[in-house]
Structure 1
Amino acid sequence: MKRSTLLLTFMVCLLSCQKNVDTSFKIGIIADCQYCDCAVKWDRYYRAAPKRLKEAIAVLNKDSLSYSIHLGDFIDKDFKSLERVLPMWKTLKSTSYHVLGNHDFEVEASLKSSVIQRLGLTNRYYSFIEKEWRFIVLDGNDLSFHGALTPNKKKQTDSIFNLLGNKELPYLKKWNGGLSTVQLNWIKTELDLAIKNNQKVGFYCHFPIFPIDEHNIWNRDQFLSLIKPYENVKLFFNGHNHAGAYQMENNVHYVTFKGMVDTENSSAFAKVKFDSDTIYIEGFDRELSRKLVLK
């Protein structure tokens, strides 16, 4: 057989193999477990959270998941609350990740950095790869009145809050937060890497971008300007607004997952399947099931 024929045969086989590569995977998502040994408030049943977390993990463990992620507010307050729910979280069979929420910092000032360590985080914001996706985990508490831990970050927090103060933004609340310039620059680096490696991008954050209400991240406009040129950005998953929400803007799916801690007798969590051109959210209890088509 001629060398050219061998080369052609090899190329055809290579292309055929690439087409048959399975790029699908499944993950688990929980938002706002928000446990504390506290009385019911705002229809949040804090003491029911461990039971609901245990039940959700039992369901997730029945499937073969690439990873599971909690979208912030693992606890409501008190550092000791972690000792009740972390052992349960560690029974997950899949790899697991945490997003930092505002309530995760509702502990003594001297223990705030310890919360980050106990959640197993070496960095407050980070990224990881799964199949053809780059997932970027944001820290919306980077600039905040609860999560800014250095004098410089506290100064930046005051600056951005005062700068936005005259714009009458519905989300300029002290329980929300913002992204620092350092984090925004890091996000751009991550987006450029995703382009270079031909990866789709998904964001995880505690605070939403859409729809606009009292829960959004402070400098959402700055974030949107940053991601606008990147057509590979496909989704933004978050918690914080316990009612849940959905909006699609510029071909990006913005999904707010419902809070697990809410209501007397029901939970909320999800499994999510990623296919090449579609994302399927299988909601449990109050969480809605959705089909998200990638464009």
Structure 2
Amino acid sequence: MTDEPLLSFGVIADPQYADQDDDLAMNRYFRNSLNKLAEATATFESEDLSFIITLGDLIDRGWQNFEAPLEIYRRSRHEILFLAGNHDFLVEPEKVAEVRPRLGMPRGYYSFCRSGIRFLVVDGCEESLFAAGLDERIKASATERLDNLIEQGAINAKDWNAGMSQSQFVWIESELETARQKGQEVIVLGHYPLVPLTDHCLWDADVLSDLLARHAHVRAYLNGHDHRGGLGRQGDCWFVTFKGMVDTAQENAFAIVDVFADRLKIRGFGRELSRSLDR
């Protein structure tokens, strides 16, 4: 085994901060996420990280709640990246279109390269009931998709889940081909789980997981959303669901991912599990 990783990065999933009382029935300790974020980012400061990625649901709801957690991230010396989760869009309808810019995202889905690894950030909220905002066309399309899934008895036919457009799938295939031609391996980052199939999975889970598993240079798909966490494998691709930070009163949940040539090493903190995922 190679001793030095190609790169390392920090992972946080589902802080769901809000200045509101705990929801004990759901195990949601909203205000406590600020202290947990401060602990996680302080831990990351002593590490040589390429970036820190938050896998969606920085807030639970309410536009005014973005500022407090974002201020904690601003103190970090590391590059901070976000993708949007379903709860991030639970703001006033006229503010929905501003969510991604508020998180500093260049667009809903995007890619970047670090140390010869191509990262794809996918937008699982693209076609949804909550991210439509004032766009009635998107809302109608998402409603039709959800109704069809309910009629089929799909386990993930839930309004807190969502789907992706065909144009995004075309983009993903193009990015995978570009990576193949350049000899790059790929790690995909999303909000929704794909494998194993649960009630929290992306509406297009089987389509996207099949696509990723067909490409041997795709190392892993990393996500949040299902606060219970999870692990799956399809083909040579690992599917890792990170535990939700908001779920406990005190104990934290975050991770550092070390990318080696022959494995991914996940160093879990608090409730998050440590794993070694071999090629």
With normalisation by structure 1, the TM-score equals 0.89
Percent identity over the alignment is 35
Matched residue, 1:75: 59
Q: Deviations over 1:167-211 (max 9, x none)?
A: 211111000000111111111111111111111111111100012
- The code of the aligned residue for 1:28 comes to G
Question: CA separation in 1, counterparts of 2:229 and 2:212?
Answer: 23
2:148 pairs with 1:181: no
Segments of 5+ residues of structure 1 without an aligned counterpart are 1-19
Question: CA separation in 1, counterparts of 2:141 and 2:216?
Answer: 30
- Shift of the alpha carbon at 1:126? 0.5
Most deviating of 70-79 and 118-127: 118-127
2:78 pairs with 1:94: yes
Q: Deviations over 1:11-37 (max 9, x none)?
A: xxxxxxxxx9x7611110000011001
| 3-state secondary structure, aligned to 1:46 | coil
Matched residue, 1:241: 226
Matched residue, 1:162: 147
Aligned residue runs from structure 1 range 1-295, under 5 A: 24-41=6-23, 42-149=26-133, 150-294=135-279
Question: CA separation in 2, counterparts of 1:270 and 1:203?
Answer: 16
Distance change in 2, residues 1:191/1:152 (3 Å):
farther
- Shift of the alpha carbon at 1:142? 0.3
Distance change in 2, residues 1:25/1:248 (3 Å):
same
With normalisation by structure 2, the TM-score equals 0.94
- Tell whether the 8 Å contact from 2:16 to 2:58 is kept in structure 1 after alignment: yes
Question: CA separation in 1, counterparts of 2:124 and 2:116?
Answer: 25
| 3-state secondary structure, aligned to 1:142 | coil
Question: CA separation in 2, counterparts of 1:225 and 1:57?
Answer: 34
| 3-state secondary structure, aligned to 1:207 | coil
Question: CA separation in 1, counterparts of 2:7 and 2:105?
Answer: 24
- Tell whether the 8 Å contact from 1:23 to 1:131 is kept in structure 2 after alignment: no
Corresponding residue pairs, total: 274
- The code of the aligned residue for 2:82 comes to H
Question: CA separation in 2, counterparts of 1:198 and 1:252?
Answer: 17
- Shift of the alpha carbon at 1:274? 0.8
